[in-house]
Structure 1
Amino acid sequence: RQAGRPDEAVTDLTAALTLNPEYAWAFAERGEAHRQTGRLEEAVADFDRALALSPDHAWALGSRGQAHRQAGRPDEAITDLTAALTLNPEYAWAFAERGEAHRQTGRLEEAVADFTAALTLDPA
């Protein structure tokens, strides 16, 4: 997936999950591969499964939030991204994603606050 071949990643991660259906990391990674290819509902389903197995997985929460935002569900995105930030208050990427979700809903003051927090944590 990180090499830019998300379809191959889905195949490989599905094989891994056949061997170990309780592998939370593999569900989260497969969810991200689905998200990268625009299969947002499959992504959310995989993130749901990863979080059922490992509820304190901030990255999976944030990534599910991103998938919700991309699917036009900014309120669900905000909920997930807020949960990710509760687990990791210095998660700059989650602040930026939540800012984008706030922007989608027209909550511009909240968006600016989140973008500012993201830039404060990671000015690059």
Structure 2
Amino acid sequence: MRRPLDESNGFKTVSGDVENPAMQSGVRAATEQRWEDAERFFQIVLQQEPESASAYSNLGNVHLSKGRPELAITDFSRAIALAPTAPVPYLNRALAEEQLGVNAASSGNKAQADQHYQAALRDCRDAQARDAKEFAAYFNEGNVQVRVGQYEAALAAYSRAADLAPGIAGYRLRQAELLFQNARPADADLMMRGVVRKNPNYAEAQVALAAVEWVSGQQSKAEEHFDKAVSLDGRWRKMAFIRQQTRWPPALYDAMEKFLAIAGSS
């Protein structure tokens, strides 16, 4: 999860930058995903205020959104140097490091991927040290722990994030997915049911619950939840789409494949 500097969501500014018209224009452009315009406006801010940590942090978010993790890391590092006590540049730099890890892994360079993942974990922990209630830092840590196969650590991180931000259904779902990975299917089932009950149109939750129920022998319930997900978006029928859209741990993907091999083909 990406965060702007010192704000809760979207591309925002710290209080000292609010009056800057270029910053306001950059925030508006980024919110509308007009990345070229956003980059230009944040560069203008930096010409006017070279020590604006907020501008560097938001510029890093733009570069990350445009698929430029190396440039994003440079921007976030500058923001950290200017605002060393702020947690957000650390957690955002963790996202860029994680993306570089994914890129390296895709190229077959496991050693380099591990280096980036470890850098991401360090940044997550630095963010947590600066604000123990920074829920996105725990969520980001959980994502990276899944990448490196540390599923108990991932469960602990997701659980902390979900407890700090109980209103974010995706956090609780991720916690449930890791419960399943860590051989606690009954707990996963119960938690996923709670997510689905509160968010019936949350297609990923419906699909994940279908997989958990199928392997636990609850076939009719599994088919019911799967049908609900497919009614929301027919692409959930395809395993390739599920892998593309989710960040599940291996055990849940295995369960989903077993479900689709039988029920999904009917």
Structure 2 length as normaliser, TM-score?
0.43
The percent of aligned pairs where both chains have the same amino acid is 23
Q: Which runs of 5+ in 2 are unaligned?
A: 1-94, 103-115, 236-266
Rounded to whole Å, the distance in 2 between the matches of 1:33 and 1:78 is 24
Question: What are the residue-to-residue correspondences of 1:33-52 with 2, within 5 Å?
Answer: 33-52=144-163
How many equivalent residue pairs?
124
Q: Which runs of 5+ in 1 are unaligned?
A: none
1:54 maps onto 2:165 in alignment: yes
Equivalent residue, structure 2, for 1:91: 202
Equivalent residue, structure 2, for 1:113: 224
Offset of residue 93 of structure 1? 0.6
Cα RMSD over matched residues? Answer: 1.8
Alignment check: 8 A CA contact 1:32 1:63 kept: no
Rounded to whole Å, the distance in 1 between the matches of 2:220 and 2:117 is 35
Identify if the C-alpha distance between structure 1 residues 79 and 36 changes in structure 2 by more than 3 Å, giving closer, same or farther: farther
Identify if the C-alpha distance between structure 1 residues 110 and 63 changes in structure 2 by more than 3 Å, giving closer, same or farther: same
| Higher relative contact order structure (alpha carbons within 8 Å, sequence separation ≥ 6) | 1
Equivalent residue, structure 2, for 1:31: 142
Q: Give the number of the structure whose alpha-carbon radius of gyration is greater.
A: 2
Equivalent residue, structure 2, for 1:73: 184
Structure 1's consecutive aligned runs of 4 or more residues displaced over 3 angstroms after TM superposition are 5-8
Question: What are the residue-to-residue correspondences of 1:7-18 with 2, within 5 Å?
Answer: 7-18=118-129
Matched to 2:194, the amino acid is A
Matched to 2:203, the amino acid is A
Alignment check: 8 A CA contact 1:27 1:46 kept: yes
Offset of residue 94 of structure 1? 0.7
SS of aligned partner of 2:197:
helix
Rounded to whole Å, the distance in 2 between the matches of 1:61 and 1:14 is 21
